[in-house]
Amino acid sequence: MLAISNAKVCASRNSSKLSFFFILLLTLLSSTSDLWAQDYNTLHIPAALYGTNFNLTIIDTFKQILSGNQTITGGINDDFWGPTIFVNKGDTVHMNVLNKLNDSTTIHWHGMHLPAVMDGGPHQIIPPGTLWQPYWKITNNAATYWYHPHLHQMTQAQIIKGVGGFLIVRDTEEAALPLPRTYGIDDIPLVLTSRRYLSNNQFDLTNIYGDYMLTNGTPNAQVSLPAQVVRLRILNAEVERGYDLGFSDNRTFYVIANDGGLLDAPVAVTRLKLLVGERVEILVDLSKNSAGSSVNLQAFNGGQPFGFPGGEPATSGNLGSLLNNTTFTVLHVIVAAPTSGAITSIPKTLVKNTYWTDADVTNSRTITVTDQGPGTPFTFDHVGFVFNTINKTVPLGAIEKWTITNNNTFGHAFHIHDVEFKVVSRSSGSVANYEQGWKDVVYLPKSESVSFIAKFDDYSDAIHPYMYHCHFADHEDGGMMGQFVVEGSAGVKNAPLPEVSYTLFPNPALKKLFIQLEDPRVVVYYITITTINGRTVMMLPQPDLSNGIDISMLPSGSYIVKLMDKESKQITIRKFIKE
């Protein structure tokens, strides 16, 4: 049984005999592990952070999700999931990611176009106790993105624990449109997941399909929304399950944005498939609903064919779940009075997108989903992920068409880092109207090929790769992932520099540590600061050294700076003392 406040029920009873009866009744009901469908909990709205400098502390923690034992969870500045980060297109944002987990992790900025060394993929490992400080200029369109762990073979467990968060980009085009955008009031983030619980209320970290829905970490979630047009930003952050979303009254709703931006115009639908990693922004018109009425956002997963993830018939076991092949509630909506300044109509048009077409393509590739027989992990082109193998090299500035072929009997969700793409064809027929916008994850149904076109511009890096993978965490952890580097145009290369020479000052230092490079041609690629016994405490990809390095949070002691030069990739070390 999920979070139902026994205390509240009992407190309303004065007679102790009656209380006893109630406790007995509750105990009997809990033992059947039935959900009380009418017993809803208020939807948690993640805290919002604004600005250009963000402190994100990843923690091992607990949350009271069920009655009884608390559940061990992971969160970012919170006890499950993390804050919603609002950023503006054109701003340079600085992230201070402090890993306070007992494990290493990474944080990937899903959907962001940024240098590979800032991307937070499997190579940017943040050891426990380490501060990682990536920064980049936001060039993505206004849309709903997210951040999550990406440590190879640990992604599933860390995502199940709850580590992740929304990253919402705003821009001037979006701001000019008559759209709901009051966070938590008429603009609601929804992260859809489900969990299976072990008998002591702990998450089953090996589970693929959860038995109980968690919406923003809230079991049996309900939200009160004003009787007007509201915007829902929905993310599927499951391990594998897809959602065929719709409303209990089968009402029409309007898709306004895909993963990477607004569409040209709202697309009216009554059902919408959302696979793992995908986001969609929808408008729902509640203006005809009387205050106090209710409607449910549901997953119409009943009757889905085998191959749609979560369509499997089994209700238990590894590929089974109580939510499989059934229609279930994702969010109970109670309609309240409209707000002042309410949006009351669906706009006719949104933004003007110019998508890549076949005529723009400079190179084409194909990738085939493979496995080595029943029960073996899925791979691409018969090779599983190998940490030090670069599978593809893309020239900087290329406009590429990738065709992903899935001859498998099961669906997948294909994701690529660095770019947003345009889905141009599906072998099954047509590309749905609701997926005509910029995307970074695409549903790859069984026995289907999907083609997309993307431009790989702005960032090249010979060492740090970007990933492409199935976004099902268990498939990705199992090796259904490859990596590509974007290679810069071969310009005039400087002769390799001799060993990079620099001094640290002041030394000892208290608050800031400055680096004086002897040769001004040296470009610093990476700085790592470790304790004298080798524990990494700070990771600074391509740091801007003009203002020094803020070391005020380090305990006093001796430290080692490891500086990697961009051209030669040589590492030179220096020692300093923190006062």
* Residues that bind Cu ion in the complex, under the rule CB under 5 A: 412, 470, 472, 475
Q: Does 196 bind ligand C2O (CB under 6 A)?
A: no
What's the CA gap between 559 and 573, in Å, rounded?
10
Which one of 44, 63, 108, 332 is in contact with ligand C2O (CB under 6 A)? 108
Count CB-CB contacts under 10 A for residue 100.
Answer: 14
Q: From residue 518, how far is each of 124, 503, 540 by CA, in Å?
A: 28, 8, 20
Q: Which does 426 bind (CB under 5 to 8 A by kind): ligand C2O, Cu ion, none?
A: none
Which one of 469, 475, 482, 522 is in contact with ligand C2O (CB under 6 A)? 469
Closest alpha carbon to 241 in 280, 283, 273: 273
Indicate the SS3 state at residue 78: coil
What does the DSSP assignment read for 487-540? EPP--PPPPPPSS--EEEESSSBSSEEEEEESSTT--EEEEEEEETTS-EEEEE
What's the CA gap between 190 and 232, in Å, rounded?
7
Q: How far is the CB of 462 from ligand C2O (least distance, A)?
A: 20
Q: Which does 40 bind (CB under 5 to 8 A by kind): Cu ion, ligand C2O, none?
A: none
Which one of 152, 412, 417, 422 is in contact with ligand C2O (CB under 6 A)? 417
Q: How far is the CB of 492 from ligand C2O (least distance, A)?
A: 34
Nearer to ligand C2O, 44 or 148 (CB): 148
Q: How far is the CB of 385 from ligand C2O (least distance, A)?
A: 11
**415 neighbors 471 (Cβ within 8 angstroms):** yes
Stretch that binds ligand C2O, among 130-138, 334-342, 453-461, 467-475 (CB under 6 A): 467-475
Q: How far is the CB of 523 from ligand C2O (least distance, A)?
A: 27
| Distance separating the N- and C-terminal Cα atoms of the chain | 54
Q: How far is the CB of 160 from ligand C2O (least distance, A)?
A: 14
**7 neighbors 19 (Cβ within 8 angstroms):** no
Residues that bind ligand C2O (rule: CB under 6 A) add up to a total of 10
Q: How far is the CB of 475 from Cu ion (least distance, A)?
A: 3
Q: How far is the CB of 258 from ligand C2O (least distance, A)?
A: 15
**108 neighbors 149 (Cβ within 8 angstroms):** yes
Site for ligand C2O in 270-329 (CB under 6 A): 277
Q: How far is the CB of 460 from ligand C2O (least distance, A)?
A: 19
Give the DSSP letter of residue 418: S
**177 neighbors 140 (Cβ within 8 angstroms):** no
Which one of 369, 467, 485, 529 is in contact with ligand C2O (CB under 6 A)? 467
* Per-residue contact string for residues 123-152; x = within reach of ligand C2O by CB under 6 A: -------------------------x-x--
Q: Which does 44 bind (CB under 5 to 8 A by kind): ligand C2O, Cu ion, none?
A: none
Q: Does 415 bind ligand C2O (CB under 6 A)?
A: yes
What's the CA gap between 385 and 391, in Å, rounded?
9
Count CB-CB contacts under 10 A for residue 187.
Answer: 17
Which amino acid, one-letter code, is at 408? Answer: N
Strands 229-236 and 279-285: antiparallel
What's the CA gap between 111 and 248, in Å, rounded?
31
Stretch that binds ligand C2O, among 261-269, 405-413, 463-471, 551-559 (CB under 6 A): 463-471
Q: Does 110 bind ligand C2O (CB under 6 A)?
A: yes
Q: How far is the CB of 467 from ligand C2O (least distance, A)?
A: 5
What's CA 61's distance to the chain center, in Å? 20
What's the CA gap between 456 and 445, in Å, rounded?
26
Q: Which does 475 bind (CB under 5 to 8 A by kind): ligand C2O, Cu ion, none?
A: Cu ion
Residues that bind ligand C2O (CB under 6 A): 108, 110, 148, 150, 277, 415, 417, 467, 469, 471
